[in-house]
């Protein structure tokens, strides 16, 4: 008997499948910032994308990704040097990638539904 994914896992898995192109867009924005080719509209678009991703991840209860996207958004909104932002965003993007891989693993692993069977077997 094959284990099936829950509805919540299917929804998370479908949303997570849309993230790789968005990660590429974030990476490109960071590269533009590092070469000083990013204008204010490009930075605002990146902030908006990170805010949307944070809200979507929070709505689907993928809290580790939501926190990381929130940190990235906050880092961009705050003042500070350009190199500080670039380095911080690069490290947080690495963290988001790791959290993404963990979320994919969690969303594609069927949940075990062992209610009370092991306990019932151990009673004489």
Compare 116 and 74 and report the one with higher pLDDT. Answer: 74
Q: Distance from first CA to last CA of the chain, Å, rounded?
A: 28
CA separation for the pair 29, 15 (Å, rounded): 22
Q: Which two tokens stand for residue 38?
A: 């990013």
d(CA 115, CA 97): 34
- The hierarchical CATH code for the domain 7-108 is 1.20.120
List of long-range contacts for 66-72, beta carbons under 8 Å, 24+ apart: 68/92, 68/95, 68/96, 68/99, 69/96, 72/26, 72/96
Residue 123 pLDDT greater than 50, yes or no: yes
- Report the C-alpha gap between 68 and 22 in whole angstroms: 14
Name the DSSP letter for residue 18. Answer: T
Which residues have CB under 8 Å from 58's CB, separation 6+?
A: 66
The string of pLDDT tens digits covering residues 9-65 is: 999 999 999 999 999 999 999 999 999 998 999 999 999 999 999 999 999 999 999
Confidence grade of residue 1 (pLDDT, cut at 50, 70, 90): very low
**Do the beta carbons of residue 57 and residue 69 sit within 8 Å?**
yes
Dump pLDDT digits (tens) for 67-103.
999 999 999 999 888 999 999 999 999 999 999 999 9
Q: Would the pLDDT of 118 be above 80? A: no
Binning pLDDT at 50, 70 and 90, where does residue 3 land?
A: confident
């Amino acid at each position: 008997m094959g284990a099936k994914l829950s509805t919540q896992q299917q929804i998370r898995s479908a949303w997570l499948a849309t993230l790789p192109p968005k990660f590429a867009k974030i990476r490109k924005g960071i590269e533009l910032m590092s070469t000083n080719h990013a204008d204010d509209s490009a930075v605002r678009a990146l902030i908006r994308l990170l805010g949307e991703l944070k809200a979507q991840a929070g709505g689907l209860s993928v809290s580790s990704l939501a926190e990381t996207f929130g940190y990235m958004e906050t880092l961009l909104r705050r003042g500070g040097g350009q190199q500080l932002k670039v380095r911080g965003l690069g490290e947080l993007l690495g963290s988001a990638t790791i959290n993404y891989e963990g979320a994919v693993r969690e969303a594609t692993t069927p949940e075990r539904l062992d209610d009370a069977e092991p306990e019932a077997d151990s009673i004489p």
